[in-house]
Structure 1
């Protein structure tokens, strides 16, 4: 799908980080790899630190805390919140919607529109699509896009397949209409034939066959015989990002009639440093324009890596300046979602370490 929006802007990002921080130096003692293997993994993937929520933390608790912080510190007026869009893979419950609980916990009017979307790596950009569509309706003031997960709780530190890159962060992004009628270009692609490259096979109502159980427990998927956890075919995901995603990025640039050199920043989803650096090389863009340090400091926070990347790398500059940016999420689905838009002159861009 390719579509355009006009007169929309992001006016603030609040990134909420867990209190508990693990570092790779300590993590090494829990796995069966040699020190040489661990050091190679660390250098290649960019592992250093990551933050993980405590085991009694749930999504709505952190989001309610964040929105109240924004209201109490005059970052947003409570009455201006017209909608909540939640993009997550770890809701409080399967029913009711977690965004409903957030609305109630903050004490918003019951005419605020709330919707949960089950999104992962492309959750931020697809969440912006939802926000833009809502803002096309009359009387809409501000939409809060909440992204992130609490999936890394109770970590298995011996798991060298997914644990070193896992991390938690919940971001609240304020989206609203504006007088500048600049175009926003959005391009999405779904390659569902490879859906099982990233999958939680034991977390839904579909019962896995014996063949699927054996497949997901194989070394190809990390070698863990436990269905209610993430199973990833790392090679399939890597091939998708290296072979298909560059083509989709070029298609997005063509749709926006934008030369790649005219983009100030490329804020990509951050599976790991190696993959993002290789992607920058593939599309012929300088690494200076493609920050790849999110996993190094925070871990892979799924749908929150793009706002975390913005907050970590240009949180002061974006308060004063405007930048032409590409935002792109890619991975689980398998899916791609890219946006080209102007970002800048935010009212706030803050990273906050919570007690959670």
Structure 2
């Protein structure tokens, strides 16, 4: 899918982080790897620390806290909200939508449009797509895009496959119309035949057969026999990011009629430092333009890694400056979604550590 929007902007981002933080140094005590193996893993993948919400924390609880704080700080006026879009893989309930729960708690007007979407790694970019489409309608003021998960409950610190890269963060992004009619280019690809490279087999309504149990606990998924957790074929995901994603990035640049060197920043989804750095090399872009430090400080927060990346790296300068940027999410699906747009002159860009 390729499309173009005009006259839209991101006016601010608030990143909400858990207070519980684990360092890789401390995590090393819980696994069976030697110190040399741990240090190699740390250096290659960029692990240093990550944060997790408490077991009794749920998405709407954090989002409501964040929005009320924004009301108090005059970052957002309640009556300016025309829509709430929630991008998450961990909704409060299967029914109703988590966006409805947030709307109810904030006592918003019943004309506010609410929707949830489950897009994982591309959740932020596809959430922006939904926001842009909503803003094309008459009388729309601001769309609140909420991204993030509460995926890790009581983490298994001995798991050297998925645990070191995991992390929680919930982001609130405000999207609205603007007078500047600058184009925003959106491009997405879904390679659905490879869906099982990243899969969460448990907790759905599809019956897990004995054959499925054998398949999902195979070497392909690091012998992971817990169906209520993410199963990743690491080699398949890495090959996808190295072989297919660079092609899709170039197609997005072609759509935008933009030379890759003309962009100021590439804010990519952050599976780990190694993969993002390798992707920068593949597309032949300076690593200075491709921040890869999110997992180092916060872990991989799925649909929130891009706004976390923006907040961590340019939260001070983006208030005054304007950056021609690419935002790209890739992974689960397997899918890719990319946007080329101007980012800047934000009203706010904050990172807040919560007590959740």
> Shorter-chain-normalised TM-score: which range?
over 0.9
Residues 72-91 of structure 1 aligned to structure 2 (within 5 Å): 72-91=72-91
Residues 278-330 of structure 1, C-alpha deviations (whole Å, 9 max, x = no match):
00000000000000000000000000000000000000000000010000000
After the TM superposition, list the runs of 4 or more consecutive aligned residues in structure 1 that deviate by more than 6 angstroms: none
Distance of 2:76 and 2:88 partners within structure 1 = 23
Please name the residue that 2:202 is paired with. Answer: 202
Could you tell me the TM-score, scaled by structure 1's length? 0.99
Deviation at 1:133, TM superposition (A): 0.2
SS at match of 1:258: coil
SS at match of 2:120: coil
Please name the residue that 1:276 is paired with. Answer: 276
Please name the residue that 2:133 is paired with. Answer: 133
SS at match of 2:299: coil
Can you give the 5+ residue segments of structure 2 that lack an aligned partner in the other structure?
none
Residues 1-356 of structure 1 aligned to structure 2 (within 5 Å): 1-356=1-356
Distance of 1:196 and 1:211 partners within structure 2 = 14
Distance of 1:89 and 1:28 partners within structure 2 = 28
Residues 115-135 of structure 1, C-alpha deviations (whole Å, 9 max, x = no match):
000110000000000000000
SS at match of 2:186: strand
Moved more, 284-293 or 145-154: 145-154
Deviation at 1:106, TM superposition (A): 1.4
SS at match of 2:40: helix
Deviation at 1:208, TM superposition (A): 2.1
SS at match of 1:121: helix
Distance of 1:86 and 1:222 partners within structure 2 = 31
Pairwise CA RMSD: 0.6
SS at match of 2:300: coil
SS at match of 2:171: strand
Can you give the 5+ residue segments of structure 1 that lack an aligned partner in the other structure?
none
Moved more, 134-143 or 151-160: 151-160
Aligned residues: 356
Distance of 1:156 and 1:95 partners within structure 2 = 29
Distance of 1:308 and 1:48 partners within structure 2 = 16
Deviation at 1:211, TM superposition (A): 2.2
Distance of 2:211 and 2:34 partners within structure 1 = 33
Distance of 1:58 and 1:139 partners within structure 2 = 32
Distance of 1:300 and 1:261 partners within structure 2 = 27
Residues 130-176 of structure 1, C-alpha deviations (whole Å, 9 max, x = no match):
00000000010000000000001210111111000000000000000
Distance of 1:233 and 1:100 partners within structure 2 = 35
SS at match of 2:325: strand
Deviation at 1:226, TM superposition (A): 1.2
Could you tell me the TM-score, scaled by structure 2's length? 0.99
Distance of 2:172 and 2:268 partners within structure 1 = 18
Distance of 1:31 and 1:219 partners within structure 2 = 19
